[in-house]
Amino acid sequence: MDPRYRPFYQHVWAFCWPILWWNLMRLAAVQRKVKRNIWVTVTRTGQIRVRYIADAPVRRVLPEWSARWERPSLASDLPACLAALLPCPSRLAVDASWAGHAKGERPLPGAARIARAPP
């Protein structure tokens, strides 16, 4: 006897155990066929009543994995034609006109001629 069915046999009258055994075999066959959990109730005479059958398992589709740096959402919004005009780190060490400026920022052309507005 399967230990899972012990409460059923304790509930059913002893002279009805063959009926219970037959119904449990039928229940096990149905459960193997549908591959779902089944909730049942058992009467004193060994009759099994199916109360609920679980939903079919949903197969989850896992998202495709990609490296974080390859995600398009992390890409720059800057057009490629303007990206060529930006200073790259390799040019920072070579270009002497950037020396002496904070954080390697190049001064704007004619920056000295730009007047500040009055406060």
Q: Given pLDDT bands bounded at 50, 70 and 90, which one contains residue 104?
A: low
Q: Per-residue pLDDT tens for 20-30?
A: 999 999 999 99
Per-residue pLDDT averaged across 87-100, rounded? 50
Q: Given pLDDT bands bounded at 50, 70 and 90, which one contains residue 64?
A: confident
pTM score: 0.47
Q: DSSP secondary structure string, 38-95? A: EEEEE-TTS-EEEEEEPPPPPPPPPPPP--GGG-GGGS--S-HHHHTTS--HHHHHH-
